[in-house]
Each structure stands twice: as C-alpha cells, then as structure tokens.
Amino acid sequence: MFLYQLVSSDKSTLLPSQLGKYKCLLLIERVVEDGFRHQLSRSLVDSGCLYTMAWGLDCSLWDDSVDYASIEKFGDGGIPDDQFVMTTWHTDDTLEEVVRFAKIDAMFSYTDEPLTNLLVLDLRDESRAEAIEELFNKVG
C-alpha cells in the first residue's frame, strides 16, 4: 500500500492507523522546528514504523531523531528486535533515487519482516501527491 500525506506545518500530525508495520519516506523541503521533529519521530516509532528514510533538508537530523525516539521509548531495557526501526538518510540521492530505494530496497525490517506498506510524509508547503505516486508507480 502506498499512502501520501502532506505535512505543511509544525502542528501535531496524525499518522494513519491502518498501516500496521510499515516503512516511511520523509521528504523534507521546509525548515522544521526541533520539537516538531522529535514529536513526529516519536509518533513514527509508536505507530509501527520499522524503516524510516529521510531525504532533503537536514535529513541526517531526522535519522538521528528517529533513533533517539526509539532509545527513549525503550530506555535501558534495549530495543526489542521486532520493534527496531532501521533509519537511513539520503543526502546525495535524487528524489527519483530515494523513491526507488523506498519501494525496492527498503523491504525488510531488522527481523526480516517484509514491509509492503509505505507512508510518504512530505514536509513542504504544497501537496505533490499525484507526482510522488506517479514516480512510485514508475520505478521498479
């Protein structure tokens, strides 16, 4: 399943509940406040995201933020294998390359569970849902 969601402001964002275990592609094309980055990262970890890919502005900060949210959630007890969130950032990739990676390469979680559901969170001012979905359908 492919699901696109525009995140045009730093207000609280509700993530879809029907995805189960899923992967998330963060497309970051606007400045995001640290507090919102942390809140959204916590929401991803809490909602069943097992693979997060960040592309765009400060994408390495997003990678770290999701890692810290996982550590924060589980504390000193360690992160259980079935809830470990793989994180990657894609500083030098084109949009086409990162969408391909999200569709083709990011297929398994830490426990080799196939991840077929993809949530694209597009952090920008205007939606480009059709263009991203068309790109997703074109690759692979």
Cβ neighbours of 96 (radius 10 Å): 11
Domain edges within the chain:
2-138
pLDDT band at 137 (very low <50, low <70, confident <90, very high): very high
Confidence (pLDDT) at 111: 65
pLDDT tens for residues 57-92? 999 999 999 999 999 998 878 898 888 999 999 999
CATH number of 2-138: 3.40.309
Confidence (pLDDT) at 25: 98
Give me the mean pLDDT over the 102-124 stretch. 87
Q: What is the DSSP string of 37-77?
A: HHHHHHHHHHTTEEEEEEEETTHHHHHHHHHHHHHHHHGGG
Q: Nearest 5°: CA angle at 98, between 73 and 56?
A: 70
pLDDT tens for residues 12-61? 889 988 888 999 999 999 999 999 999 999 999 999 999 999 999 999 99
H/E segment holding residue 109: none
Q: Is the pLDDT of residue 110 over 90?
A: no
Q: What is the DSSP string of 66-83?
A: HHHHHHHHHGGG---GGG
